[in-house]
Structure 1
Amino acid sequence: MKLTRKHSKSKEEVREALDSIAGDMQKKFGIGHKWEGETLRFNGNLVSGYIANSGDEITVDLKKSFFLPVPESTLKGWVEEYFNKYLG
């Protein structure tokens, strides 16, 4: 699943927001994460993928494990909630 959203935050604000999102994902799903430039990569047993910041746009590419018992539409809703909470 791939989602993109425009934003008007600075590079530092986006990085801070993505760190907060990664912390939430670690608590909720036990996901590890690391930065590669302006891309936050994450990997866990239930979901993996990346969140990339390219100027005024955030792209999330999320891969759901077969073992995560929620539909893709629910995951999309969670991503949208994170966007709204952390990026406005």
Structure 2
Amino acid sequence: MPSIDIRHSHSLPPAQARQAVQDVAEKLAERFGVDYLWQGDTLAFSRSGVDGKIALAPQQLHITANLGFLLGAMKGPIEAEIRRVLNERFG
């Protein structure tokens, strides 16, 4: 199963970083029907074909996701879009 594993540094205060992750999760839910749930400082998300986590730590986000067969074929573009959003939201 194809997987994504991205670590991204940030300099936001914890509350601001959490809100930025929440904003991204809400957009994913709206656009793609992704379900999500906070488990401490980790946001777990899933929908048909993908499930993963965004772990929020001081100065770093760790995004992991397992992609199903259909989305696995699009791993490169999906990773590129994740990196674009991370750079836009977290610098």
TM-score w.r.t. length of structure 2: 0.88
Match of 1:64 in 2: 67
SS of the aligned residue for 2:69 comes to coil
Size of the aligned set, in residue pairs, is 88
Counterpart-to-counterpart distance in 2, 1:55 and 1:38: 10
1:80 aligns with 2:53: no
Residue 46 (structure 1) aligns with? 49
Deviations 1:45-69 (A, max 9, x none): 0321000011111000011121337
Percent identity over paired residues: 23
- For 1:23, the aligned partner's letter is E
| TM-score, length-scaled by structure 1 | 0.91
Q: What's the RMSD between the two structures over aligned residues?
A: 1.4
Q: CA deviation at 1:71?
A: 1.9
Asked if residue 3 in structure 1 is aligned to residue 6 in structure 2, the reply is yes
The question of whether the paired residues in 2 share the 8 Å contact of 1:29 and 1:46 is answered with no
Aligned to 1:15: 18
Q: How many angstroms apart in 1 are the aligned matches of 2:28 and 2:49?
A: 11
Which consecutive residues of structure 2, in runs of 5 or more, have no partner in the other structure? none
Partner Cα distance (1:84, 1:12) in 2: 18
SS of equivalent to 1:67: helix
Distance 1:77 1:70 in 2: 14
Q: CA offset at residue 28 of structure 1?
A: 2.5
Q: Which has the higher contact order (CA 8 A, sep 6+)?
A: 2
Name the stretch that deviates more: 70-79 or 35-44.
70-79
Q: Which runs of 5+ in 1 are unaligned?
A: none
